[in-house]
Structure 1
Amino acid sequence: MGEKAIKTAEELLKKAFKDDIEKSSLPVNQIKPLAPIAHPPKIICLGLNYRDHAAEQNARIPDEPIIFLKPHTTIIGPYENIIKPKLVKELDYEAELAIVIGLKGKNIPVSEARKHVFGYTILNDVSARDIQFKDKQWTRGKSFDTFAPIGPCITTENQLRDTSNLRIRTWVDGELRQDSTTRNMVFNVYEV
């Protein structure tokens, strides 16, 4: 990924529009969006990284990032069904800004972090709260298959220059249940 991938994608889009696109297009209602990235090598998540979420959980704001991983088997498309395991009694959700890394690196200074970001998408961090609280850690309760609906698209880094105040909302059956912005992040996109 990175600049070369973005350039290639732009060239392919230009070619598609130049060619007879009507012969190869479908109405939007006939398309089923898939996850924009299906098998990432790692899904690294941060717990309690929004001040308002920490407050509603009556949790202390962390001094350092609380990191947990999700396996790639948690990823599904944005309109696919989440499968609730039989042993799970309390299912929960959190809309999250997902950062898609395009360039590997370690110990990257905050000032250089943007160069490593390919783009951004939305991820629903689904949790089995009863399992999570029983285990007193987060891995099992957040790692069941289908527990990370993602997408439907990736906005590339060059399209979104300012990530400091992105609005993230969740509706369940038409009811607004989550409404926050990245301004409430404890550790911002580039500090992570």
Structure 2
Amino acid sequence: MKVPPVLRLSLDATEYLFDFTVGTSVATNSLGFPKATKAAYEVFLDDVSKTKLIFAPTSITFADTSISNDYGTLRINTNQAQWVVKIHSITGNLDAPLSNNRLKVHAEQVVGSKGSSLTSMPGLTGTPGGTNLAAGTNIIQATSNGQGRSVYKLYYLLEMDINDTFPSDSVYSSTINVVLLLTTP
């Protein structure tokens, strides 16, 4: 008999887009964060009580175009008792005034899944906090009994600061790519 080690990780979302140039209304995602729209950004700029605010993506692109969640679905399939999902690498950097540490990652366990999230959710008010997006950061782990299928909702969020100064002669645009890795300790 031969049985190989199985460590399979899949994410249905292919792009998380934060576009503050579109949208005439303010809407929130399932966690309660405002979606990145022109209207939501203008409300933030007009609110003297806030100096920082966390925004959810304007939209998320999925390989399956019939999906319309405000999070990516991360699936883990393994025959290993112990495993960890981490941010393996980040290609690119958000241009100033933003930086990659303004991006937050939050993994929310779906009921019945193995392991646990190692991320903290940013606050809706006050100091945003949360788990910064950084290469090498462990975001989900199972320390025992991790075999089988586990499902997590994966959120990327963006912290904006009232003191950010963006170009006055063009639209700010910046892109990064994030690679996740499932491995055994």
TM-score range, shorter chain: under 0.3
* Higher relative contact order, chain-length normalized (CA < 8 Å, sep 6+): 2
Flag the structure with higher strand content: 2
Flag the structure with higher helix content: 1
Q: Scaled by the length of structure 2, what TM-score is found?
A: 0.27
